[in-house]
Amino acid sequence: MIYPKMIIFDYGNTLLYEPTFDTLRGEEAVFEHVTVNKKGITAAQADAFAQELYAKIGLARGLGLELHELQYQKLLYESLGIELSITYQEAERIFWDNAFGCAVMPGAEKMIDYVNSSGIRSAVISNIGFSGQALTERLTRHLPGNRFEFVIASSEYGLRKPDPLLFTLALTKAGLKPKDVWFCGDNIKADVEGSAGAGIFPVWYEEKSVDNPWIRENEGLEPNCEHLHIHRWEQLIETLDKLKAAPS
């Protein structure tokens, strides 16, 4: 392992997690801003239709493609004859904030402070349908001490990890070589093997105190690449301390 000049992080179940979700609650919050409802659609009916659309999006995601939340909302509301008094960007934020709870992963704040104080640059790459702006706002709200140089949301580029283009895009933005960068994430295929495929050193973060569907899916599996396996952010700090103290 080479001491990194930059560490790039995944978002979900890596920096923050979403302990609760209720998509109907999200639709109800957006429906407070409905000005035209040609078909008399209820929030519950809109939510049911949204689930049908989401199932179709899931097929595209299985192919490594991503649909932007704003496209999704335009298709949803315009198909139902619904007009809003707010922009789709505002509707996105209202829906996300009301449908999905948010909390900081254990030790993430301390780890971010350590990375900052050590002069290690940082950034984020996330497989997510929500916009990069909405994701950046959420990260800033819950991790106000972060110094992320950029936030890459797959929604903005149409591709999902493990596609190497998202990782090489990050390297271009950072102006760094793969050997100088680490990537931390919880998903073996998307995060660990994906970043390794771009020549970036992967850190498999498997925090088991928080419910995470990827941990269940990864049960019994091991990444097919060299990597650092940690279960707590304190272990990342300890590893970096040892590398910093080691003779060059």
In the prediction, which pLDDT does 54 show? 86
Helix (H, G, I), strand (E, B) or coil at 136: helix
Contact 138, 102 (CB under 8 A): yes
Q: Within 13 Å, how many C-alpha atoms sit on residue 39's CB side?
A: 11
In a domain, 148, yes or no: yes
Q: Are 64 and 160 in contact (CB under 8 A)?
A: yes
Residues with Cβ within 8 Å of residue 90, at least 6 apart in sequence: 33
The span from the CA of 241 to the CA of 209, in Å, is 24
Residues 63 and 107 placed together within one structural domain of the fold: no
Indicate whether 137 and 233 sit together in one domain.
yes
* Number of C-beta neighbours around residue 148 at 10 A: 17
Domain boundary among the residues 99, 132, 157 is at 99
Residue ranges of the chain whose pLDDT lies below 70: 248
Whose structure tokens read 């402070």?
Answer: 113
Q: What is the DSSP letter of 118?
A: T
pLDDT at 176: 98
| pLDDT score at 216 | 79
Check whether residue 118 and residue 197 sit in a common domain.
Answer: yes
> Are 72 and 132 found together in one domain?
no
In contact, 54 and 71? CB cutoff 8 Å? no
Does residue 1 sit within a domain? no
> Residues 111, 228: one domain?
yes
In the listed set 71, 99, 127, which residue is the last one of a domain according to the structure? 99
Domain of residue 90: give its range.
23-99
199 and 214 in a single domain? The answer is yes
Q: What is the CATH number of the domain that holds 116?
A: 3.40.50.1000
| Domain stops at, among 37, 72, 99 | 99
**Type of residue numbered 88:** Y
Q: How many domains in the chain?
A: 2
**Whether 118 and 173 share a structural domain:** yes
- Give the whole-angstrom CA distance, residue 229 versus residue 217: 16
β-bridge partners, 121? 6
pLDDT at 48: 96
